[in-house]
Amino acid sequence: MKAIQVAKTGGLDVLTVSSAVSRPTAASLAPGQVLVRNAFSGVNFIDTYHRTGLYTLPLPFIPGREGAGVVEAVAPDVQHVAVGDRVAWLGPGSYAQYTAVNGIHVAKLPAGVSEETGAAALLQGLTALSLVNLAYKVQVGDTVLVHAAAGGTGGLLVQLAKLRGATVLATTSSDAKAAEAKRLGADHVIRYDKEGIAERVRELTNGKGVQAVFDGVGKATFEASLASLARRGFLLTFGNASGKVPELDLLRLSKGCVYVARPTLFEYIKTADEFNELASELFSLLAVKKLEIRVHAKFSLEQVAEAHKEIEAGKTVGKILLTID
């Protein structure tokens, strides 16, 4: 089958298109697995971490953490999906025509949600839901700060926080991204290329700060995020787009009695019930158009290096997908 392989970590050149990768079959499925013929793969920042070696995987590997397509086969003990079902899934190896997936993380797509939307929404959608439902429960009256608010996860966080009745402050770096954040529901946009984030947050909150900061940027925004917190506020740092967060002296958290957490999606979806609860909410919101997924660009498998270059450049407004034929 055709797939992208990484035999050594490094730059864009380590992303190799191969037509000689062994295809998983129904006979090769382990208990609990589902074989999916992929139509789309999501492209996420974590894929670049795996490619560069920031997060290590055994070599060689097929990149990608989410996909969508049609079920080709299921192990005998799998009951919740069947051959022919349209599904979205989480797991390793989505940059490929076929993937054998752990059935715990396979969700049947409801009518009205396309495979393209499923692939674009699943990882970032579940991440956003886990952040606003579980890591910090956003509620009516909260004021929250969302970094990279025009990106995939950031845009979803803006929408979900507004659905829960919060006031949303959003950071962006361009006029186009500012307009997108406002379109998605942000109450105030902070242009971090033109103004200080924490200073502007204090102005907008009458000096109080925000109850929660959702920070997927990392190194470049960490200090501003910490300085933007209200008394007993929560900083949720969930990504390293600008580099790893610096070491933190815990004594600094005593001022204002603030909290810092590093939530990780897969700690919230270890069981089938946990995964299904979040996935059901996500697809319900998508089906009734209460949540919007914007696809920034689609690339073929052969264009995977361009997809990684685009996401690393910070040019995206929405999601990047690979189309798989």
**Residues sharing a CB contact under 8 Å with residue 210, sequence separation 6 or more, in sequence order:** 142, 143, 144, 145, 169, 201, 228, 229, 230, 233
Residues 278 and 132: their CA atoms lie apart, in Å, by: 11
**pLDDT of res. 215:** 97
Tell me: the pLDDT tens digits for 298-319?
999 999 999 999 999 877 788 9
**pLDDT of res. 151:** 87
Residues 172 and 151: their CA atoms lie apart, in Å, by: 9
Tell me: the pLDDT tens digits for 185-224?
999 999 999 999 999 999 999 999 999 999 999 899 999 9
% residues pLDDT > 70 (the chain): 100
- Going by C-alpha positions, the residue among 313, 275, 215, 292 that lies closest to residue 66 is 275
**pLDDT of res. 10:** 98
Judged by average pLDDT, the poorest of 149-158, 247-256, 312-321 is: 312-321
Asked whether residue 244 carries a pLDDT value surpassing 90, the answer given is no
Tell me: the pLDDT tens digits for 93-146?
999 999 999 999 999 999 989 999 999 999 999 999 999 999 999 999 999 999
First to last CA, the chain: 10
Locate tokens 């969302």: which residue?
146
**Average pLDDT score over residue span 227-241:** 95
Q: Where are the domains of the chain?
A: 3-125+268-323, 136-262
Question: Mean pLDDT over all residues of the chain?
Answer: 96
As a residue count, the chain comes to 325
- CATH 3.30.559.10 at 136-262, yes or no: no
Locate tokens 């799998």: which residue?
78
**pLDDT of res. 198:** 98
Residues 73 and 241: their CA atoms lie apart, in Å, by: 36
- Going by C-alpha positions, the residue among 79, 81, 45, 75 that lies closest to residue 63 is 45
Locate tokens 């070599």: which residue?
59
Confidence at 243, pLDDT banded by 50, 70, 90: confident
**pLDDT of res. 23:** 96
Tell me: the pLDDT tens digits for 4-52?
999 999 999 999 999 999 999 999 999 999 999 999 999 998 999 999 9
Give the pairing of strands 86-90 and 66-74.
antiparallel
Q: How far is the CA of 21 from the CAs of 69, 98, 129, 271, in angstroms?
A: 19, 10, 35, 30
**pLDDT of res. 315:** 75
Identity (one letter) of the amino acid at 296? H
Residues 215 and 258: their CA atoms lie apart, in Å, by: 15
Q: Spell out where 79-138 has E strands.
A: 86-90, 98-102, 106-108
Which run of H or of E encompasses 17? strand 16-18
**pLDDT of res. 290:** 95
Tell me: the pLDDT tens digits for 56-70?
999 999 999 999 999
Helix 115-130 vs helix 272-287: angle between axes, to the nearest 10 degrees?
Answer: 120
pTM more than 0.85: yes
**Average pLDDT score over residue span 151-178:** 95
Q: Is 209 helix (H, G, I), strand (E, B) or coil?
A: coil
Identity (one letter) of the amino acid at 265? L
**pLDDT of res. 42:** 97
Identity (one letter) of the amino acid at 83? V
**pLDDT of res. 309:** 96
Sign of CA dihedral 148, 89, 165, 131: negative
**Residues sharing a CB contact under 8 Å with residue 250, sequence separation 6 or more, in sequence order:** none
Which run of H or of E encompasses 322? strand 319-323
What fold does the segment set 3-125+268-323 form as a domain?
Quinone Oxidoreductase; Chain A, domain 1 (3.90.180)
Residues 325 and 322: their CA atoms lie apart, in Å, by: 10
